Structure 1
Amino acid sequence: MTPSTRYDMIILGGGPGGSRAAFDAAARGLSVALVDRDGLGGTCLNRGCIPTKLLLGATAALPLLETQKKLKGAEGHIAFDLPALQQRKDRYVKGTRQALEKRLKAAGIAVYAGEGRVTSGRQGDGDGELAVSAAQADGTEQETRLGWGTLIVATGSTPASFPGLAADGAAVLDSTALLDVTEAPESLIVVGGGAIGLEMADFFSRLGTRITIVEGMGRLAPTEDAEVGDTLRKVYAREGWTIHTGRKVASLATVDGNAVLRFEDGEELTAGKALLAVGRRPASAGIGLEALGATLRGPGWVQTDECLRAAPHVYAIGDVNGRTLLAHAADHQARYAVRHACGDTATPYDAGVMPACIYGHLEAMRVGPTAEELKNAGFSPRVSRSMLIANPIAQAYGTTQGFIKIVWVDGRIRGVTAVGHGVSHLVTLAAVLAGGSGTAVGWTAHDAGNVIFAHPTLDEALEAAMEAPQEPV
């Protein structure tokens, strides 16, 4: 079958990375098609960071008011309407998705809804081919063949599961299903103490749900600085959460309408619902990348070279390549891939210092490597810190738990870690301090004196951490 239409660039996946690549390529005058199977905006907009933040934002006042009650400065009760919150979330997501589609079409980008499958790669100067299968109202499927000069794969990821640990749609749910419930469970077991598990637990805790967190590693937020995990555990334990770390789960299933978790030592936990938040898996199956010479690692991560290429004229960006599973990482990679495909750069991709946050009434933020990671890599890092209890804005909100830690190598900032209320708002400034990417280098302690930090702000905690004594790790 001859392709019906030929495009300079076809992008598989309409999430943050895919849509960014489409806009950038169209702005350069390329003919562009975007093929999406799960709803424009990807996991981030439809089932991930945006709906989660809408729910956390809608209920953010409660922890602050509860703090004021403890400080004898307020009294009263707030009750949230979860169905109403869900309706608002769904309206926002739908409206944003529709607005994105309009913007894509206004930019001259062809949008195809359906499953994309590579049928052939480029041969010499010829185009590659892609088949797009779309379900029709009568139950049949219509296939459209498209030609491409460059292919960008940005198909993202899906919730992970393991033998004995899989969502069943009854009492054991993945994050997608839990985000849509309209009745808060009386109790919730969260398997996975990373960002997804902690954020969902925080939200449902505000609705009165009893929270139990189970994390197989030795601490909460196991990919972060150890002190971050320790701080999160202390605060959440004081709030009544039951926390199990360093324990392996043998099984998790719905039994008589409840979620029942069994540890390897035989102990069982029971709750009204359970969230399985044990990571993500690449959405690479069925695309046909292997036929192009691409290599899939582990559960399907698409291996890429130093320029994000998976095969000749084929790039893999975002979650699917397994480098960094963050929306802004996908966006950053998309910009680079389009530049490289257009011949505007030959320099290998450099992610620089990647920012990341965990949200909630107690947040965590990190830019760059931790001191432990640098030490393991053979460096001799030093650290300096400030405690939020000394910051006037933290005192104003009554949320003084936490700290900011600066990681130094050879007198320059290499990383910044923080935990506490509102610290996500410091992440971009922290990225600047740590040098961003490319040829930029981190600030020195002397550089802090060249910038006026407004008073009173939480930003001053960064200034205080920069000026504090540096200690060896």
Structure 2
Amino acid sequence: MTSSDFPSEKRSYGLVVVGAGPGGFDAALEAAGEGIKVALVEKELLGGTCLNVGCIPTKLYLGATSPVEELEAQSKAKVAKGEIEIDFNALCTKKDRFIAATRKAMEQKAKNLGIDIYRATAKILEPGKVEVSRPGETAVLEYENLVLATGSHPTVFPGLEPDNETILDNTGFLSLTEMPESLLVIGAGFIGLEMAQIAHRTGCRITVVDAMDRVAVYEDPEVSKALQGIFKRRKWDIRLGVKVRSVSAENGKAVLRTEDGDELVADKALIAIGRRPNSSGIGLEALGIETAGPGFVKVNENLEAAANVYAIGDLNGHILLAHAASHQAGYVVRRIAGKTDGPYEHGPVPSILYGSPETMRVGSMPADLEGKGKVETSSFPLVANPIAQAYASTQGFVKVIWLDGKVAGITAVGHHVSGFTTAAAMIVQEGWTENDIHKVVFPHPSLDEALLGALKADKQAL
């Protein structure tokens, strides 16, 4: 099989997967591992948004530029001095090579498992049949089961359309060969804040605009407040509660106009106001599949959109995170393979904002638990943690949310707090009580001790 020709063998499959992002690719691998004959259809690049223009390149940039923040922190502590110079061209080259190598490895892994890869556009024709096509070539695939994992794309509103020259979306930002001197970020969610940190570390002046009243609005308000304080200390211009009327490219600059008549100008603008599902044009109507909101596919408790047809990941809108898509993929394949027949359950799904600082969240926050029982919180400041002190990054805290004496959620903001996300997820999953704290030995010295400190701290009733 080559990438230039459709597979020539019989086009009848136990499973056809549409979309080769984290959810779709994992579904294909796991199904092939179960001995199911699999076709994987992808119209663009293996790995989807996450690998090519999302999670992975963003983290490569954040990792490579992290010494800038580390030196700045130690310099403020008066124990180091100097300058970090980022070779952005070299970083872009590293990013491109890593992603290309990862795609190649993915393709080889799929080939070794006997998966047929169709680099084509897919459209459902009728129950049991999907048409795959590209210029000059069309084929019809018969399926016993179908997984739709088509992902999502950046939200665009009239007046905020990217041209990916001056007005950028995530793809345009990650395609830059040099950073601008100033950047307008429209949207203070995770995408906007992570990319703003990358630009800031290269010396870019940052302005963040959002219609909401705080940054990272889906996080606990205390976390949002801590983030905003740290970014303001870095001299970011953060403007909240601002409704944007338009963003346009004028004379080589990005010009933002608000509904109040204000005007902001920067070298580039980044539109990061959310994502919408890729559900149009794939033939959902042929199966009577319903959508909701901006096009999220409706699924039942088994993630089925129709008989033997599953929608996973961003497409169903339950949780727009790559690891959630992969978890859903595993469930669907187990169901197809006859290894489970119960409804889909995911437990607490972790969420992480990377950079400096980081945030992590798993489980329920206080606002989620109103009226559900006795809600208490306990917290621990990172300033009291020796590892945070060692890295001169002491801003932030760990916060535990208790419901009727059991851990219902954990959140944190600060230095490398993502490092104990899995531990936090297991604690929430198990619903620890005060007595369970003594079941595990926490290493010393470690950042994990801040989590232990929050678990042991006095509780405050809400």
After TM superposition, the score normalised by the length of structure 2 is: 0.97
What are the equivalent positions in structure 2 for 1:146-161 lying under 5 Å apart? Answer: 146-161=141-156
Gaps of 5+ in 2: 1-8
Aligned with 1:335 (options 318, 330, 333): 330
Aligned with 1:405 (options 399, 407, 414): 399
Q: Distance in 1 between matches of 2:214 and 2:372?
A: 24
Q: Distance in 2 between matches of 1:381 and 1:304?
A: 32
The aligned counterpart of 2:3 is none
SS in structure 2 of the partner of residue 59 of structure 1 = helix
Contact 2:165 2:172 in 1 (8 A): no
Aligned with 1:396 (options 390, 397, 401): 390
Deviations 1:133-160 (A, max 9, x none): 123xxxxx31011100000000100111
SS in structure 1 of the partner of residue 432 of structure 2 = coil
SS in structure 1 of the partner of residue 180 of structure 2 = coil
SS in structure 2 of the partner of residue 161 of structure 1 = coil
Q: Distance in 2 between matches of 1:89 and 1:344?
A: 39
SS in structure 1 of the partner of residue 133 of structure 2 = strand
Q: Distance in 1 between matches of 2:256 and 2:364?
A: 34
Q: Distance in 2 between matches of 1:369 and 1:255?
A: 45
1:219 aligns with 2:214: yes
SS in structure 1 of the partner of residue 351 of structure 2 = strand
Deviations 1:408-441 (A, max 9, x none): 1111111000000100111101001101xxxxx3
Report sequence identity in percent.
49
Contact 2:376 2:401 in 1 (8 A): yes
The aligned counterpart of 2:432 is 443
What are the equivalent positions in structure 2 for 1:289-300 lying under 5 Å apart? Answer: 289-300=284-295
Shift of 1:380: 3.1
The aligned counterpart of 1:96 is 102
Q: Distance in 2 between matches of 1:147 and 1:22?
A: 16
1:85 aligns with 2:74: no
1:433 aligns with 2:430: no
Contact 2:67 2:84 in 1 (8 A): no
Contact 1:118 1:130 in 2 (8 A): yes
The aligned counterpart of 2:347 is 352
Shift of 1:170: 2.7
Shift of 1:4: 5.3
Q: Distance in 1 between matches of 2:286 and 2:380?
A: 53
Aligned with 2:16 (options 3, 10, 28): 10
What are the equivalent positions in structure 2 for 1:98-117 lying under 5 Å apart? Answer: 98-117=104-123
The aligned counterpart of 1:438 is none
Greater Cα offset, 333-342 or 453-462? 333-342
Contact 1:4 1:144 in 2 (8 A): no
What are the equivalent positions in structure 2 for 1:73-472 lying under 5 Å apart? Answer: 73-121=79-127, 128-135=128-135, 141-375=136-370, 378-435=372-429, 441-472=430-461
Gaps of 5+ in 1: 122-127, 136-140, 436-440
SS in structure 1 of the partner of residue 347 of structure 2 = coil
Shift of 1:41: 0.7
After TM superposition, the score normalised by the length of structure 1 is: 0.95
SS in structure 2 of the partner of residue 235 of structure 1 = helix
Q: Distance in 2 between matches of 1:196 and 1:162?
A: 17
Contact 1:219 1:245 in 2 (8 A): yes
Q: Distance in 1 between matches of 2:453 and 2:217?
A: 26
Q: Distance in 2 between matches of 1:373 and 1:91?
A: 43
SS in structure 2 of the partner of residue 434 of structure 1 = helix
Contact 2:373 2:404 in 1 (8 A): no
Deviations 1:31-59 (A, max 9, x none): 11100112111111011000000010011
Contact 1:329 1:354 in 2 (8 A): yes
Question: Paired residues, what number?
Answer: 454
Aligned with 1:54 (options 55, 60, 79): 60
Contact 1:170 1:257 in 2 (8 A): no
Shift of 1:348: 1.0
Amino acid at match of 1:154: A
Deviations 1:1-30 (A, max 9, x none): xx9510000000111101111111111111
Shift of 1:346: 1.8
1:40 aligns with 2:46: yes
Shift of 1:219: 0.3
Amino acid at match of 2:36: L
Contact 2:149 2:312 in 1 (8 A): yes
